[in-house]
């Protein structure tokens, strides 16, 4: 990314990453403060929210930093930084896949799904992070040691497989949606989340899968602008998820409203305490 590109795209990426950070932080606070939201069906959603928060806090800034450095030579600091960035970028769509598989199991086997305990979700989440770290380290090695096309095909293959898994899972869910009312509403909401996420990830995956000779025909400015535009759309996936929760999830809307009302009630109370303290001091005088 040249100085001219940085002057145009740096504010765009900075604004987007701040939005990702703020919106997902508010979502995590709502989940942490409101006990009713911390259910078995919400554990994978909380994991996705934490992942999206880390995308805005860590992966996004590292993406901009690497674009400005443009250094593909092997070094341990570069390998670690690239692995960390890819870990959170990969973890977000993988979290969506875990949610889709969980919803698929709840739709096809509702009684068995009710018997799943909390520890099983914790094991699944921890195992998914280990797999994500392994995939990220392998892709970082390809990026630093092999031609860039090998890394691009590896990233594209992951995105394509992930999108196919999401699409097949939710097609089956929609065709067999005969679960309980609460499960059906949750499945529909998560289907919307997944559909919007697919729309944000798909353009990036298509562009990365194009043959290298087609990309080389573009001018430098056009290829840079296309790449950065698709990156902005790709990272927007981490903004979409909590917004859909706020719009579609009644429990989340109620919890967020209660959280805001509590904050408003505390401020007058503190102000009243200060007034009472002042009145007591005045009476003593």
Q: Quote the pLDDT of residue 179.
A: 47
Identify whether 39 is part of a domain: yes
Number of domains observed in the structure of the chain: 1
SS3 percent helix, strand, coil of the chain, rounded to 5, is 90, 0, 10
Distance, in Å, from the CA atom of 156 to the CA atom of 206, rounded to the nearest integer, reads: 8
Nearest in space to 44 (alpha carbons), one of 86, 85, 87, 104 = 104
Domain for residue 14, yes or no? Answer: yes
Q: Where are the alpha helices (DSSP H) in 109-180?
A: 110-114, 118-145, 148-175
54 in a structural domain: yes
Taking the CA atoms of 55, 61, 64 and 70 in sequence, report the sign of the dihedral they define: negative
- The DSSP call for residue 36 is G
Burial 255-275 (b: 16+ CB within 10 A, else e): bbeeeeeeeeeeeeeeeeeee
What CATH number should be reported for the domain holding residue 47? 1.20.1070.10
Number of H helices, E strands in the chain: 12, 0
Two tokens, residue 94: 């993988």
Q: What's the rounded Cα separation, in Å, for the pair 64 and 84? A: 14
Residue 23 lies in a domain: yes
Q: How far apart are the first and last CA of the chain?
A: 68
Residue-by-residue pLDDT tens, the chain, 285 positions: 555 556 678 889 999 999 999 999 988 888 887 777 777 778 888 899 999 999 999 999 988 887 776 666 778 888 888 899 999 999 988 998 898 898 888 888 888 888 888 899 999 999 999 999 999 999 888 888 766 677 778 888 888 888 888 888 888 877 776 544 555 666 677 677 777 878 888 888 888 777 766 666 665 557 778 888 888 998 998 888 777 766 666 667 776 677 667 666 665 555 555 555 555 555 444
The whole domain housing 157 covers 3-248
Quote the pLDDT of residue 108: 84
> pLDDT at position 150, please?
77
pLDDT at 237: 87
Q: What are phi and psi of 137, to 5 degrees?
A: -65, -40
Q: How many CB atoms lie within 10 A of CB 133?
A: 16
The residue among 44, 43, 29, 140 whose CA lies nearest residue 90 is 140
What is d(CA 158, CA 164) in angstroms, rounded to the nearest whole number?
A: 10
Residue 61 lies in a domain: yes
Is residue 99 included in any domain, yes or no?
A: yes
Angstrom distance (rounded) from CA 68 to CA 135: 24
Q: What is the pLDDT of residue 285?
A: 45
């Amino acid at each position: 990314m040249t100085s001219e590109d940085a002057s145009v795209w740096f504010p765009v990426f900075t604004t987007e990453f701040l939005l990702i950070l703020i919106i997902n932080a508010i979502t995590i606070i709502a989940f942490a403060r409101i006990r009713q939201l911390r259910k078995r069906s919400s554990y994978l959603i909380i994991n996705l929210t934490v992942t999206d928060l880390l995308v805005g806090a860590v992966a996004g800034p590292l993406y901009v930093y690497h674009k400005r450095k443009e250094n593909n030579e092997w070094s341990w600091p570069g390998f670690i930084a690239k692995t960390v960035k890819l870990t959170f970028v990969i973890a977000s769509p993988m979290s969506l896949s875990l949610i889709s598989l969980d919803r698929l199991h709840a739709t096809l086997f509702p009684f068995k799904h009710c018997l799943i305990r909390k520890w099983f979700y914790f094991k699944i989440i921890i195992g998914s992070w280990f797999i994500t770290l392994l995939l990220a380290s392998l892709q970082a090695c390809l990026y630093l040691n092999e031609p860039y096309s090998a890394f691009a095909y590896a990233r594209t293959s992951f995105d394509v497989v992930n999108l196919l898994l999401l699409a097949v899972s939710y097609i089956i869910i929609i065709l067999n949606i005969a679960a309980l009312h609460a499960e059906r509403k949750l499945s529909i909401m998560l289907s919307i989340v997944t559909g919007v996420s697919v729309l944000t990830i798909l353009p990036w995956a298509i562009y990365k899968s194009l043959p290298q000779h087609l990309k080389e025909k573009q001018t430098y400015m056009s290829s840079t602008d296309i790449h950065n535009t698709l990156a902005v759309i790709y990272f927007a996936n981490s903004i979409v998820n909590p917004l859909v929760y706020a719009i579609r999830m009644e429990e989340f809307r109620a919890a967020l409203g209660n959280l805001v009302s509590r904050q408003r009630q505390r401020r007058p109370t503190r102000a009243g305490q200060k007034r009472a303290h002042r009145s007591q001091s005045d009476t003593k005088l």
